[in-house]
Structure formats: C-alpha cells, structure tokens
Structure 1
Amino acid sequence: MAEQARTASPAGRSRRLDGEREQAILRAAYELLGETGYQGLRVDAVAARAQASKATLYRHWPTKAELVTDAVRTCKAAEAPLPDTGSFRGDLRAWFGDIAMMIGSEEGPLLAGLFMALNSDPELAAQLRQMRDSKVPFAETICARAAARGELRPGYDAGLIDEIVPALVFMRRFALGEPLDEPFLDHLVDDIVLPLLTREPCE
C-alpha cells in the first residue's frame, strides 16, 4: 500500500492539461492581453473565455506572469529566420525590416504593453527575460558572420544593437507615431548602427 501511494503521488503532481485545453486557455489569455493590456488582464476573464475554471488556471499557472509568458511563447507568431544576405549591412537591413513588420502588425501594441508593464511587475520581467535569453542571439550571430567576412574588427560590441534598436523602433512607432518606413530603416542602419559597430576601438 505504501509503495502504491508513493507511485500515485508523483503522477497526481505531474498531471497536465491535455493539449487542446491548454491551447484554448493560452489563446484566450493572448487575445485578452491584446484587448486589455497586461495590467487589465484578469484571470477570471481568461477562464470565462476559455470555458475553464479559475482553479484550473491557478493550478497550472500560479501567477498571471507565468500565464502571460506561456501565452506569448505559444501564441506569438514565429520570428522570421535569421537573414543571411552575404553582407553585414544587408543582414542588418533585412533583420530590422522583419522587426518593423512585426511591430506594425497586431502584435506590436501587445508587446509594447508588455514592455511597459515590466517596470511595475518584477516577476513578469524575470519570466520574459528567461524567454528572451533562450532565443538565438541574432545580433551576436550576424556580427560574428560579419567579422568572419572581415567586415568587423575585433572588439566590436554586438550588444549595442539590442541596446539601441528596440528603443528607437518603439519610440518612433508608439511615442512619436511615425512609420517604420524604408528611409527610417536605412537611417537606422547607415547612420546609427553601422558607424557604432565599425568605429575604431577606443584606446
């Protein structure tokens, strides 16, 4: 009897939602996130839309941050593949074009709202940071290829791309209301990113 109890307990703890039910809940959370933003998202509203109980949601996602992170991970459109145009400028321009397309889609405001919520929700920030860190580092990969082709000197800082580009793109689109058009993307590459990455290293 004791052995039976020991084997039954882990099975109970590891019991998971079936795939269809989990997808319905995460899709409901993602849709409501786009409609209400992170701050306005209510777990009971997710449960109602997915026709699930609040107890079910809290059992599988103890916090709103965990639910939202799983929803974004599962429902967000797949990122475009890493561009390989044969040149550093071409790779940057193609990648930034993909970013602009994503920001201009219905996912743009949703992601912008999430970034705004990071300042007031440390748990959400930690969850999204883990998700980001698990992705292929596009900037590092593109810069490494450029260095191998002799387009970048040793000592370049690929991290500058991630420090600068998202901030400029979000500022232009959501704060200034300006389009992420071809002239802006060319300016971003030719006047900002390329000069920073190809400058002479400081002594």
Structure 2
Amino acid sequence: MAELARVGYSALRVEDVAVLAKVNKTTVYRRWPTKSELIADAIRSVAGFDEPLPDTGTIRGDLIELVRRSLAFARKPEGRAVSRLIVVEGGTPEVDALARLLRDQKRAKNAEVITRAIARGELPHDTPADLVVDAITSPLFARAMRFNEKIDQATIIALVDLVVTGAENVGKRGSRGR
C-alpha cells in the first residue's frame, strides 16, 4: 500500500514492492502472479474486508456503523490511495477490472446487513440489498473521496434514514418499477 500510495498503480513495480518487503521478487510472484492480484489483496487487507460486519440489532444502527467505518478508512492514507487509484487511474481496463472486483466483493459483504434486516422483518423480503447499500455509500463516498468533504454524523444518519424509509416502503407499492 505504501508503494501504491507513493507511485500509483501504473508505475508500481512488483520488484520495488519486493525490495520494500525485503524479499525476493519470486517470493511475491509465487503468492501474487499479477500486479492486480497483489494490489487487490493489499487493498482487502487494509480496507476492512475481513472485519466482522456491525450487528447492532437494527438495520439503522448497522448501516450507520458500516458507513462510519467506511468513511474512517476513506480518510486514512490507504483510503486516499485507493481513491486516487480509482479516480486518477481509472479508465484503463486493468484498473477498472480491479475496481469492479473490489466493489462487487465489498458490496456483497455489506449487503449481508440488509439480508439480516430482512430476516428480522425490518425490510420487505424483496428489498434489493445491493441497491440499498449503493444508495447510501455512493453519495457519501463521492463527497468524501472525490470532493474531500468531511461527512458529519447528522448527514450519515439523515441519509441512512432516508434510504431505509424508502426500502421499508418499496414493497407497499406493489411493483418497484425495475
């Protein structure tokens, strides 16, 4: 992550990562055959992919905590490096594929809080978990990472309440119009 932050994705060389790690480059290549796989694992290791999801007992509490954790990561140097990777170096097939892979993995994990809420009866059974997660995280990350805005607790709560209220009522319309 330090090398990614220093030089960016396109200039990152596995050989330089090996020097920093004080190992032979073959050691790195044995574990991560491609630069993309190396960077994906590095990002997963610092971005909380392995952390347990919040489980406060309510969808509102879980989502507020999930957003709080995600924004805390976005403010760290590692989070800014990931943002720069996506914003500045996006547009190349390799970086775009890496970004989509990580987004899909993180989205699937985060969607578990919606699945738990459905099981508890807080949300209708046909609630689109991926859309609920995206509706909350996308605008906040655009503000935090792209525009470097500090997102306060009141904004997080307001957005979570807005999206959860919409999700609670989606089944009452009959058709979601999707």
TM-score, structure 1 as length reference:
0.68
SS in 1 for 2:150: coil
Gaps of 5+ in 1: 1-29
Alignment partner, residue 67 of structure 1: 38
- Residue 182 of structure 1 and its aligned partner are, at CA, apart by 0.7
For this pair of structures, how many residues does the alignment match?
171
Corresponding residue for residue 61 of structure 2: 90
The residue aligned with 1:103 is 74
Report the CA distance shift for 1:187/1:55 in structure 2 as closer, same or farther (over 3 A).
Answer: same
Query: Is 1:125–2:97 an aligned residue pair?
Result: yes
1:165 aligns with 2:139: no
Report how far residue 164 of structure 1 moved. 2.8
After superposition, the Cα gap between the structure-2 partners of 1:162 and 1:194, relative to the gap in structure 1 and judged at 3 Å, is closer
Percent identity over paired residues: 32
Residue type at the aligned position of 1:180: I
Please tell me whether the aligned partners of residues 65 and 127 of structure 1 are also in contact (alpha carbons under 8 angstroms). no
Provide structure 2 residue ranges, at least 5 long, that are not aligned to the other structure.
none
Could you say which residue in structure 2 is the equivalent of 1:150?
A: 121
Q: Which whole-Å CA distance do the structure 2 matches of 1:171 and 1:130 have between them?
A: 17
User: Deviating runs (4+, > 6 A) in structure 1?
Assistant: none
Structure 1 residues 1-203: aligned runs within 5 Å: 30-54=1-25, 57-58=28-29, 60-73=31-44, 75-76=45-46, 78-79=48-49, 80-116=51-87, 117-122=89-94, 125=97, 129=101, 133=105, 137-139=109-111, 141-191=112-162, 193-201=163-171, 202-203=174-175
Deviation per residue, 1:49-106 (Å, 9 max, x gap): 2344555545554432122223334x42645422222222111112111112121222
Larger Rg: 1
Q: RMSD of the alignment, in Å?
A: 3.0
Identify which of structures 1 and 2 has the higher relative contact order when contacts are C-alpha pairs closer than 8 Å and 6+ apart.
2
The 1:43/1:93 distance shift into structure 2, 3 A limit, reads same
Contact 1:38 1:113 in 2 (8 A): no
Whole-angstrom CA distance in 2 between matches of 1:130 and 1:85:
25
The code of the aligned residue for 1:120 comes to T
Q: Structure 1 residues 122, 93: closer, same or farther in 2, change over 3 A?
A: same
Measured in 1, the distance between the counterparts of 2:124 and 2:16 equals: 53
